[in-house]
Structure 1
Amino acid sequence: MKYQEIIPIKQLQPYVQYFWIIEDMSNNIGVHNFKIIPDGVPTLIYQDIPNHLTEQSSTHKSPLYVYGQFTKYTNQVIDGPYRIIGVYLKSTALKALFNIDASEFKNKNIALEDLVSSSVLEQLLNAITVEEKVEILSTFLLSRVTAIKYSNQKAVYASDLLKEGKELKEVQLEMNISERSLERIFKEHIGMSPKFFSRIMRFQFSLNLYRNNAFENLTDLTYQSNYFDQSHLIREFKEFTGVSPKKFLHKVEEQLINYPKIKE
């Protein structure tokens, strides 16, 4: 399996973290199971070789679609050769790109053609190289942010504070806004409540410690991640990955972050 990342052009960097490409063009790769783990980030997906990927959460057949914010893990099955191009967006990007409340995308993936009228899919189908396809997606996204010109600075600031581990009360105090206003900002721009977003950020913090083996034992991991106790940590792990921390370490192979392949 090959994986690469491409940094977006400067104009897109407030909305796009990076483009990623994952592929295996072998004819004998068989069936592989993947999980998508909640990470607080929406993604634009293009299946460059369609019909080999089955989505647990899909209700459409389009190879080009937008993932909203997922509050639970979801499963994918890939059968045969594949190439997937992803646009890993910023947490607050959906409203700025589509002028639709991010809560409308929650736990869904929606065909791009159902969101906007665009020839981008036809262009992607006609393009030859991965670089051309990434450029087509970049041009499309740039046209969206240029046309909408939507300000989401409060949402960006609030989400950054929670990513830093701030408590909700601290965020409200620092931004001088009410609990209700913070809820509205998050549901409009991020697609979930600030409390749930904070849960995901804490889980992702613990998962990064786990990936990097930056802990001595589960007690240490629990303490560093600010969980109440080990059972709390294990419950969160199971809710967001479907497996315990021990099984995650031994049963998954994670080349693309938050998109682990399940080992047989």
Structure 2
Amino acid sequence: MRYQEILPLPALQAYIRYFWVLESGEEQVGSKQFKILPDGIPALIYQDTPNRFRDEQRQYTPQLYVYGAFTTYTNQLVDGPFRIIGAYFEPTALKAIFKFDASELANQNVPLDDLVSTSLLDQLQQAPTTQEKIELLSDFVLQQVQTLRYANQKAIFASTLLQRGRSLAEVQAQMNLSERTLERLIKQHVGMTPKLFSRIMRFQTSLQLLKTTDFNTLTTLVYQQDYFDQSHFIREFKTFTGNNPTQFLKYSEEKLSNFPAWKKEEED
């Protein structure tokens, strides 16, 4: 597989973390499984070829769609060669781009046409190069944010603190917010409760450490990330990946962050 990341225009960096392109190459035949991990990040996705990616219920994802932040892992199968282009948004960007509360889009793949009236899909299909497709996606998002002109600085700041590992109590104290106000703010702009968002952020930090640090045992990681014990960490890991850490490292092949290809166990 081939993978690349492209930084957004300066005017979009408050809304888009980066664009990415993932393609299999023509050598792929048959089906391949991918595991999608929760990371608190919504996205806009375009597939060059429709009816490639499908879930475990055999429902195909739309060719051009938005997904809200997912709160658990999902599995997808891709049939044949593919190329997909995505824009990873900031956690609070959905409301600024589409005006919808993030909670309305959580755990869903929603066709873009269901959210806004646009000819973007036709334009993307006609654009001959990846660069032109990314320019079209950039122009679309820029037009949306300039039209809506919405930003909630409290939500952005609270989300940033939670991503940095601050506890809910610390965020409430620093921002002088009640528990209920913080919950309403994060659910509206991120799409889940602050507690769940915080758990996902801790899982993501632990996952990166697991992939990049040579731990002799999990104990160091467990206490470094303030899990109660190793059993607690493994339960959380299974909740967000469907596997224990050993299985995940053994069978996942990751090019795109939180979208690893999954090797079949019989290939081991």
C-alpha distance after superposition, 1:151-174 (max 9, x if no partner)? 121111101111111110110010
Structure 2: unaligned runs, 5 residues or longer:
none
Indicate the SS of the match to 2:78.
strand
The one-letter amino acid of 1:180's match is R
Residue 254 of structure 1 aligns with which residue?
254
Residue 200 of structure 2 aligns with which residue?
200
Residue 70 of structure 2 aligns with which residue?
70
Indicate the SS of the match to 1:88.
strand
The one-letter amino acid of 1:140's match is F
Instruction: Confirm or deny: 8 A CA contact 1:94 1:102 kept in the other structure.
Output: yes
Structure 1: unaligned runs, 5 residues or longer:
none
Q: Give how far 1:215 is off.
A: 3.2
Residue 12 of structure 1 aligns with which residue?
12
Residue 263 of structure 2 aligns with which residue?
263
Instruction: Confirm or deny: 8 A CA contact 2:124 2:133 kept in the other structure.
Output: yes
C-alpha distance after superposition, 1:113-156 (max 9, x if no partner)? 00000111110011111101000000000000000010121111
Indicate the SS of the match to 1:247.
helix
Residue 89 of structure 2 aligns with which residue?
89
Indicate the SS of the match to 1:19.
strand
Q: Once structures 1 and 2 are overlaid, which stretch shifts more, 10-19 or 149-158?
A: 149-158
Instruction: Confirm or deny: 8 A CA contact 1:50 1:82 kept in the other structure.
Output: no
TM-score normalised by L of structure 1: 0.97
Indicate the SS of the match to 2:66.
strand
Identical aligned residues as a percent: 55
Question: Is 1:156–2:168 an aligned residue pair?
Answer: no
Indicate the SS of the match to 2:33.
strand
The one-letter amino acid of 1:12's match is L
Q: Give how far 1:179 is off.
A: 0.8
Alpha carbons of structure 1 residues 96 and 58: separation in structure 2 relative to 1, 3 Å: farther
Alpha carbons of structure 1 residues 156 and 214: separation in structure 2 relative to 1, 3 Å: farther
Alpha carbons of structure 1 residues 220 and 72: separation in structure 2 relative to 1, 3 Å: same
Residue 233 of structure 2 aligns with which residue?
233
d(CA) in 2 for partners of 1:58, 1:43:
22
The one-letter amino acid of 2:91's match is S
Indicate the SS of the match to 1:72.
coil
Alpha carbons of structure 1 residues 14 and 58: separation in structure 2 relative to 1, 3 Å: farther
Residue 123 of structure 2 aligns with which residue?
123
Alpha carbons of structure 1 residues 195 and 57: separation in structure 2 relative to 1, 3 Å: farther
Q: Give how far 1:88 is off.
A: 0.5
d(CA) in 2 for partners of 1:22, 1:111:
20
d(CA) in 1 for partners of 2:52, 2:29:
11
The one-letter amino acid of 1:29's match is V
C-alpha distance after superposition, 1:77-98 (max 9, x if no partner)? 0111100101010000000000
User: CA RMSD for the aligned pairs?
Assistant: 1.4
Instruction: Confirm or deny: 8 A CA contact 1:39 1:201 kept in the other structure.
Output: yes
Q: Once structures 1 and 2 are overlaid, which stretch shifts more, 56-65 or 211-220?
A: 56-65
d(CA) in 2 for partners of 1:146, 1:56:
38
